[in-house]
């Protein structure tokens, strides 16, 4: 299957840079998720790979072949967009069989392939229905089935699970990835859902303002974020301002607002440097009895099913959030005074953002 390479892609729509010197490699047979907020440039990136949008500059390669100006139908890439574009005069079966038929594949093997795909998307009982008889989620599943049956070597998925209910979305995450791997496709999957990307991807490319800001395995992106934005977007983090007081061994000591002192992982930033320390809310701990880096009062508890989130108001620092197992729901009450703590190796140290914290973390 093809290896996709985007090299210094620029695409502007008026004053908006949808792709700003964007470079990205998708390996042969890889399932890569492009993860980012709305308006980050995810769909533009996909359309450029597919050939539906021409870049202003830069190049697109499939393996070592420059396909930047190649027609869409010559690329062997199928894009499942957010607009399903099903043929209204054809029933579900005919929509999915359309690709194999026009390509004149063997009819019997095509029928078996399509049957397997219908089973994967849970639509075996609706093969004779027409698009206007289906819900939005059902239409999306048929569009996905048609894309899988197209025979393309590259599958481009633009928010493919967006319209599905939560239970079915969780089922299709595993099944879609398995189907892509079994068919030996190279897949690029656009999403703004971090859990979806973490579960499905071989690698994740985090995009923001038309630029890829980090690429890595789900574990790398979650546990070793390169910027404060990634630290907060891929797994929510507490962001605490401070100044480097010392750094020895594997630990840095940071002085925060109000004279609080806390620990973080080692950094070679100079003593006196203004920094931002990020700690995942799942790695942040609270205690009614043990000492921590600072104290605060619980102002809110949120029950979330398997987990709870406890929000603690800390003087001079602000709100610190903590994610805990739901069995701890009754361990803490509103207005309880608690100590806040974390393991230093779980606290990432970043240069303080030049444009300020609010701009660094924005997702619009």
Residues 42-60: pLDDT tens digits? 999 999 999 999 999 999 9
Beta-sheet pairing, 4-13 with 16-26: antiparallel
Query: In the prediction, which pLDDT does 1 show?
Result: 62
pLDDT at 364 over 80: no
pLDDT at 141 over 90: no
**In this structure, what DSSP letter does residue 305 have?**
S
Give the model confidence (pLDDT) of 318-345 as tens digits.
999 999 999 999 999 999 999 999 999 9
What is the CATH number assigned to the segment(s) 236-355? 2.40.50.100
Question: Is the pLDDT confidence value at 139 over 90?
Answer: no
Q: Model pTM?
A: 0.88
Buried b (16+ CB within 10 A) or exposed e, 316-328: ebeebbbbbeeee
Give the residue carrying structure tokens 């891929």.
234
Q: How confident is the model over 348-360, as a mean pLDDT?
A: 93
pLDDT at position 138 is 83
| Residues 100-121, mean pLDDT to the nearest whole number | 87
- Edge to edge, the sheet with strand 307-314 lists 285-287, 337-341, 294-303, 307-314, 318-325
Among 149-153, 232-236, 252-256, the range scoring the smallest mean pLDDT is: 149-153
Percentage of the residues of the chain whose pLDDT score is greater than 90: 68
Q: How many CB atoms lie within 10 A of CB 60?
A: 22
Q: pLDDT per residue over 193-250, tens digit each?
A: 999 999 999 999 999 999 999 999 999 999 999 999 999 999 999 999 999 999 998 9
pLDDT score, position 204: 98
Ordered by start, the domain boundaries in the chain are: 4-223, 236-355
CB 338 within 8 A of CB 296: yes
Q: How far apart are CA 8 and CA 225, in angstroms?
A: 23
Closest by alpha carbon to 238, among 124, 120, 333, 320?
320
What integer pLDDT is reported at residue 27 of this predicted model? 95
d(CA 183, CA 91) in angstroms, rounded, equals: 25
For residues 151 and 239, what is the distance between their CA atoms, to the nearest angstrom?
46
* The pLDDT of residue 82 is above 70: no
Residue 198: φ, ψ to 5°:
-60, -35
CA atoms within 13 A on the CB side of 176: 34
175 versus 302: which is more confidently predicted?
302
CATH topology assigned to domain 4-223: Rossmann fold (3.40.50)
**pLDDT exceeds cutoff 80 at 123:** yes
On whether the CB atoms of residues 132 and 95 are closer than 8 A, the answer is no
């Amino acid at each position: 299957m093809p290896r996709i390479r985007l090299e210094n892609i620029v695409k502007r729509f008026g004053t908006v840079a949808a792709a700003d010197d964007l470079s990205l490699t998708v390996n042969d047979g890889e399932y890569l998720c492009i993860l980012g907020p709305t308006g980050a440039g995810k769909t533009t990136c996909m359309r450029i790979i597919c050939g539906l949008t021409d870049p202003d500059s830069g190049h697109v390669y499939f393996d070592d072949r420059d396909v930047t100006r190649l027609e869409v139908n010559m690329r062997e890439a199928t894009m499942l967009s957010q607009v399903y574009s099903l043929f209204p005069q054809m029933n579900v079966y005919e929509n999915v069989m359309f690709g194999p038929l026009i390509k004149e594949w063997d009819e019997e093997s095509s029928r078996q392939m399509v049957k397997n795909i219908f089973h994967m998307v849970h639509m075996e009982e609706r093969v004779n229905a027409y698009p206007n008889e289906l819900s939005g989620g059902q239409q999306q599943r048929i569009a996905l089935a048609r894309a899988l049956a197209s025979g393309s070597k590259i599958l481009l998925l633009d928010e493919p699970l967006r319209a599905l209910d939560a239970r079915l979305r969780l089922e299709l995450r595993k099944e879609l990835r398995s189907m892509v791997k079994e068919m030996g496709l190279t897949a690029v999957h656009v999403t703004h859902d971090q859990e979806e990307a973490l579960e499905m991807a071989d690698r994740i490319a985090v995009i923001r303002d038309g630029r890829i800001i980090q690429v890595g395995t789900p574990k790398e992106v979650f546990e070793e974020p390169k910027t404060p934005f990634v630290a907060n977007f891929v797994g929510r983090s507490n962001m605490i301002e401070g100044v480097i007081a010392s750094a020895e061994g594997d630990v840095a000591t940071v002085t925060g607002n109000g004279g609080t002192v806390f620990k973080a992982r080692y950094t070679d930033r100079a003593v006196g440097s203004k920094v931002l320390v990020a700690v995942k809310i799942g790695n942040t701990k609270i205690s009614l009895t043990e000492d921590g880096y600072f104290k605060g009062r619980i102002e809110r508890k949120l029950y979330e099913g398997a987990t709870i989130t406890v929000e603690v108001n800390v003087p001079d620092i602000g709100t610190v959030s903590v994610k805990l197992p739901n069995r701890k729901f009754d361990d803490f009450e509103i207005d309880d005074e608690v100590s806040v703590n974390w393991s230093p190796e779980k606290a990432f140290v970043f240069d303080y953002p030049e444009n300020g914290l609010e701009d660094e973390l924005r997702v619009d």
